[in-house]
Chain A
Amino acid sequence: MTYHPPHISRLEVEIADAPEGAVCIAPKTVRDIEAILRYCSERELVVQVRGGGTHSGYGSPTQPDFVLSMERMNRIETWEPDDLTIVVDAGARVADVEAALEERHQSLVMPERPGEATLGGVIAAGVSSLRRGRYYATRERVLEATMVTGDGRVVRSGGRVVKNVTGYDLHRLAVGAFGSLGVIVSVCLRLWPHPSGAATVRVDDLERASTIVWPLAVLEADGVVNVFLQGTEAEVDSQVARLGGSAAPGLVWPEDPSRDWGWSLRVPPALTSDAVRELPEGWSYLAIHGVGEVRAASSDVEGARELRAWAESIGGHLVVTRGDGTFDPWGSPPPRLDLQRRLIAEFDPKRVLNPGRLPGGL
């Protein structure tokens, strides 16, 4: 048992599923985070950053001294509906922000079934909406980010405008970086307005979906294909008529497949159907056609080994999104690990933030 100074210990909270031995703290301000990270850097203590805990099984596991929960930093700072931008604390839950945006028929275009996930968690894990084939990935929605680096510096990059080439895009590096450069504390995101018409159409055959030039999404879940449509009412009506099949009004998003083990299979977009065929017997899945992303669930670790070999042979990846840490979560390391390591060292020299969670032990 270690006694931490009062400015740290006063932030302590209880988190039921926190890793054993870790002290859970929930900062209230950016200043708190600066102080915590300086303290941890000085003593080389390991910090696991936590949003809603949704992605805590994603990436290599860490043994933290502290769990830094962003639960208290959840304010919507400014929402400019006319600009299609919003500035939000990273600890805000995706579901809460979406509910607020619904008032003006706008959306973050982030995961549709976020559960407890926070904006910061979604961005740090680099997970995206099922609508990404039409409105692009989470990466493309982050216009500005403020981070506190591992050694306690507050760094902002980007801007609160939808188009910007002012300086280097550090905020893009933060997407999918699992907090390795800094704790994301607030972000400006690009929003999308949704027009009034929407429908979900079940089709018998994937081929039928190609009659729509650029649908919102074409999803295949355990053999069932649904085409998601959005537009003016006239537009959606005509598309529904053209598709045939059975149409439900509105967008009925499926849940991600769920078991003890979760997988993300990523392949060139044209090989999405091949990827579904390559899944071992008994795996449940949700495939995003036109994107090349297949979310799958199965405890069949042996089958995963073969699937990874296939994915990597075609330039893809098989990544563990939920597991017990006994299977290499990333597979073959990405190029230029040396450069990635140097970059992380500039932002987190003592390597206190989620060390080892990224591929290559970064």
Chain B
Amino acid sequence: MSLIDDLRAVLGEDDVLDEPIELHLFSKDASLMRGQPACVAFPENTAEVSEIVKLAEAYGVPVVARGAGTGLAAGASPTAGGIVVVTTGLDSVDIDVDNRVAWVGAGVINLDLSKATRPYGLQFAPDPSSQSACTIGGNVANNSGGPHCLSEGSTTSHVLGMEVVLAGGETAVLGGMAPDPPGLDLKGAIVGSEGTLGVVTRVLVRLIPVEPDVRTLLMDFPSMEDAARTVSDVIAAGLVPASLELMDQRMVEVVENWLQAGLPTDAAAVLLAEVVGETEGVESQAEIISEIAWRNNTMDVQVAQSEEHRALLWRARKSAFGAIAQLATDYYLHDAVVPRHRLVETMKAVYDIADRHGLTMANVFHAGDGNLHPLIAFDASDPEVNKRVHQAGDEILTVALKVGGALSGEHGIGIEKRDMMRANFTEIDLDAQARLKECFDPAGIFNPTKVLPEGSRCFDFGGVKRELPDGVWV
């Protein structure tokens, strides 16, 4: 018997793929790094995931959980080979309206969850730009944010419990509906761990009320400084809008050329702000924000006049990454996060880096929480350009760390930023993180080689050792 035969005996013939073309399809996520899986498995329930993990341990091969593969840091690229476990078959949704929670399969698409809960006046707060494709399991793995997390926090604040397959294929239910379960918060350690501690199969998520009214404001500014000062002043006024999103001129031009959403292409920066609440609340908040914008040299304040208008403005924001295809075949998106008060200087440094490397860059980002998303458009088939893009990426991260920021706001470390971890943490910090990983995964089968650089522990905790396939960008 082989691994694949054994897996087929558990999952069924059709739920394990191993044809070369199939393996190629699942050899990478939305990052630029490719691996070589042994096979691709499609479990339909937690028991099947448990069997997969047991077999992986028996054969000594890695398990790489994958939702929709929208990750940008190679978290779901099987760079150490092994079994890619696609969670899309874990698609149950059980809504508990009275308790404002839902048990959700890891493979459920983020937007589908919010569509399912909306009739009850409830929503799942995290709303990453990829929400029409990305899965809840992926959100948990990367502690995803999205515009809404400015006021409501990232995924971790919305996960109350989980069912997870841990080492040995053992299934555990951690957390629950009752607040403050006693003991160590194991689920809190698993959120954001990028599939390296176990495979999360079902998630107990918090649902928050859909606010009855909303105001969406679009403000254009002659400079990035004016826009950034507006953001700071809004917060100083005691307001935390549901979102505060900034786009630079290059990004607005690209989006506008494609979507014609009515964004001002002559402004250096465009700020999209949304406030939610009861009607009196949003009216008065919109008024305050508008006053602040005028004081900070805005050229125009537009308020969305209808739900269609609002949807169009949001579509412009959330499709920015897609629109960039007009500039080049590939894009490389960064995710550094900096303290909000260092935003303007960081932006300047980021533009300088792109100029110095002769790269085309556009910016769209969550200004409210300091999460930058500089996006470099380039042709990945040119190895020389590839090298420059990578170099620029490292420099951007170095700048972010220098102003007191962190490597990743919501995309994860994966492999992409793994070797920068030494610049973010001391050896002792990394050793402590490696000890955590080892406690959960003594055999080292859960998504090995990710998050922590090699040698973080006194010995290599990577467990399953494999040569990286050719062409993997590490």
* A residues neighboring B (CB under 8 Å): 80-85, 104-105, 126, 128, 132, 136-137, 139-140, 149, 153-157, 159-170, 172-173, 175-177, 180-181, 190, 192-196, 212-214, 231-235, 237-239, 264, 266-270, 290-293, 311, 315-317, 319, 330-331, 333-337, 339-340, 342-344, 346-347, 358-360, 362
Contacts and interface: CB of A to CB of B under 8 A. Distances in A.
A156 B425 contact: yes
B95 to A, nearest CB: 13
A82 B439 contact: no
B29 to A, nearest CB: 15
A243 to B, nearest CB: 12
Contact of B281 (A172, A235, A343): A235
Contacts of A319: 182
Interface residues of B, number: 90
A268 B177 contact: yes
24 contacts: A82-B235, A140-B156, A153-B428, A161-B405, A163-B366, A163-B369, A163-B409, A163-B410, A165-B413, A166-B407, A169-B192, A172-B191, A180-B184, A193-B235, A193-B237, A195-B239, A231-B281, A311-B178, A335-B172, A346-B438, A358-B182, A358-B183, A359-B183, A362-B184
A83 B439 contact: no
Contacts of A177: 184-185
B424 interface: yes
Given A80-B341, A234-B280, A339-B166, A164 B433 contact: no
Nearest to A106: B238
Contacts of A175: 185, 188
Nearest to A171: B188
Given A82-B235, A336-B186, A159 B179 contact: no
B341 A83 contact: yes
A132 B280 CA distance: 23
B161 to A, nearest CB: 10
A242 to B, nearest CB: 9
Contacts of B209: 213-214
A136 B157 contact: yes
B296 interface: no
Given A153-B432, A231-B277, A238-B280, A193 B406 contact: no
A233 B417 CA distance: 46
Contacts of A193: 235-240
A291 B206 CA distance: 11
B181 A317 contact: yes
B156 A169 contact: yes
Interface in B369-414: 369-371, 404-413
A339 B370 contact: no
B440 A339 contact: yes
A316 B180 CA distance: 10
A213 B212 contact: yes
A157 B433 contact: yes
B257 to A, nearest CB: 30
Interface stretch (B47-55, B59-67, B83-91, B142-150): B142-150
Given A82-B232, A159-B406, A235-B280, 7 more contacts: A163-B154, A195-B237, A238-B280, A268-B177, A293-B179, A317-B180, A336-B166
Interface stretch (B7-15, B283-291, B298-306, B311-319): B283-291
A103 B172 CA distance: 46
Contacts, number: 269
Contacts of A334: 181-183
Given A82-B236, A234-B284, A315-B176, A165 B437 contact: no
B99 A166 contact: no
B413 A166 contact: yes
A319 B181 CA distance: 10
Given A83-B341, A234-B280, A316-B178, A214 B156 contact: no
Contacts of A85: 339
A269 B189 contact: no
A319 B212 CA distance: 37
Nearest to A293: B179
B16 interface: no
B98 interface: yes
Contacts of B407: 166
Interface string B29-43: 000000000000000
B376 to A, nearest CB: 21
Interface string B334-372: 000111110000000000000000000000001001110
B185 A336 contact: no
A191 to B, nearest CB: 10
B193 interface: yes
Given A235-B281, A315-B176, A335-B172, A162 B370 contact: yes
Contact of A156 (B154, B421, B429): B429
Interface in B201-245: 208-209, 211-212, 232, 235-240
A337 B404 CA distance: 36
The residue in B96, B179, B184, B192 that gathers the most chain A C-beta atoms within 10 A of its C-beta is: B184
A165 B435 contact: no
A161 B236 CA distance: 17
Given A136-B157, A214-B209, A238-B278, A149 B432 contact: yes
B192 A159 contact: no
B401 to A, nearest CB: 9
A56 to B, nearest CB: 17
Contacts of A176: 180, 182-185
A156 B99 CA distance: 35
B437 A168 contact: yes
Contacts of B409: 161, 163-165
A268 B232 contact: no
A85 B370 CA distance: 12
Contact of B277 (A105, A164, A235): A235
B436 interface: yes
A342 B439 contact: yes
Given A168-B437, A232-B288, A161 B338 contact: yes
B405 A266 contact: no
Contacts of A233: 284
A128 B428 contact: no
Q: Which 8 A-B pairs have the closest CB atoms?
A: A172-B188, A235-B281, A334-B183, A270-B98, A159-B406, A268-B177, A195-B238, A232-B284
Nearest to B146: A163
